[in-house]
Structure 1
Amino acid sequence: MFIDYAKITIKSGNGGDGCVSFRREKFIPKGGPDGGNGGRGGDVVFKATKHENTLLKFRFQKFFIAQNGQNGSSNNKTGRNGTDIIIEVPVGTVIKENQSNVLADLDADQKEFIVSFGGAGGKGNAHFATSTNQTPKLATKGKKTQEQEIILELKLIADVGLVGFPNAGKSSLLQAISNATPQVANYPFTTLTPHLGYVSHNDKEFVVADIPGLIEGASQGKGMGVRFLRHIERTKILIFILDITDNPKEHFEVLIKELKSYGLDLQSKKFAIALNKIDLIDKINKETYKKQFNPHNVYFISALKKTNLKELLDWINKNI
């Protein structure tokens, strides 16, 4: 199951307490101080890995805690440091303190970020010994840490994003050009989760994401809402998949409006238009459609029949 949002609670380890202890010494009647320092608490570390592709596990585990540092002991023994807890997340996971404060963007495999540092260990009484105070009875407590609630959001990292209304043929196209096996059916919102496919064409390989169908008002939460719009942000290229039999120009304008309302900078992305389902039309006046969508690149395809897909893939290959 694909899950791209989670809210969890974390806590780094407490620092161990310093120790008050004395040893017998010939010239110091009360004995010399030998209380060791406490160990530091473990950190909470998030690490991106390409071996994860969903935040599903955070539905079942909501609390993560690192190990506490051990207390110091006599003979100047420092307590052992607490073990860090390393939490693996998919590449593309954004860590937030709240909806407006981003802590880290783990957008590369093996990238790490320490969300919460462990508490410092307390000082034992040996630390406070001086020439004028040779038998200090003072030791400090280790630093205590607090629970912290954080938000995880997964933004897929793909080279190409397929965007369109429900039933436009995005899943069929992904299935036709890649190794992906998305669900394909003739009803709205067949695709409920993004699908990734790996495409090899000519001398290049690239990742294509099938973004669940958008409708008018998606940027305000209608239909599948903004939940999947975030996955479009990272794509280098967008392909607008439009059903040629169902007001493609009108649908294109709605999609552009929703993407802009969401805040997507379309000026920074290359995109093309794929008019799908040409197998359902006897004659197509291509020049008329090209004028409608001028100056954008327009391709006439049938994902079902795999017609003219090479031309579209050639354009992607050239612009990736």
Structure 2
Amino acid sequence: MPLTSEPAVTEAAPADEPVPRRAGPPGADDPTALRVVPVRHPWRWVGVAVTAVLLAQFAHGLITNPAWQWGVFARFFASETILRAVWVTLQLTVYGTALGFALGLVLALMRLSASPFLRWVAFGYIWAFRSIPLIVQLLFWFNLAYLYKRLDFGIPFGPGLFHLDTMGLVGAMGAAVLGLALHQAAYAAEIVRAGVTSVDGGQLEAAAALGIPRLRRLRRIVLPQAMRSILPNASNEVISLFKGTSIVSVMAIGELFYQVQVIYGRNGQVVPLLMVATAWYILLTTVLSVLQHYVERHYAKGAAR
């Protein structure tokens, strides 16, 4: 008699009855009992070790190499001549930055204007001043009296009503500030324009729908948000302008690099005097970077990152 197998019947567990869990190691349900193993980065530590060795070698060379002449460096670092030169460098930086970004803001608004005339005027200015090297611009302003003996004001292509002699109109310091500011304005305009265009246009439409005046929209809505994009690039330009003031040494202005050149031209101590200028540039650039950090943190309030 053949044997028949009947299919197995599986009964479903009642809905209110918990499904038994598979048995695991003791403590598996307790997160605090789990062992956390950090990700290991062996090559990172290798990089740290190599960098530390290189820095130690560099510092050892600076300290032990007599060619650096640290005694001469210490004698001239805080001398009266160098401090006056640092003050002139700071003046050029502040005046060039303030005037450059003020004019750059106007040029940026002109480029964003609905008027084709204003857009093309701003574009022409930016194109011209970014195309001509800064040293050429400075020399043109410095030799303004040679190019134009006097400036006449009156009827165009006709007789002049009064005139100004240009011989004492623009001195060396004025020519330097004028050249730096006009050159800086061309770059500042593009930085400000990029920051303004990064703000969502829907916010301007909402502000216009609420009846907020255009100037207040720009001052209270657009610029505070645009500063998050403007500040990093603007800070780079300020630092570049601070170091770029050394180019006015061609006009015999007593800024830091020019005075260093004058001193080592007299005593022949080139390396320690160059280290004096380098140390001052590093110190003041560090101060500007710290200020940049706090200003960026102020305008980053409410940002996602």
TM-score by length of 2: 0.19
Larger RCO, structure (CA 8 Å, separation 6 or more): 2
TM-score by length of 1: 0.19
Larger Rg: 2
In terms of fraction of residues, the more strand-rich structure is: 1
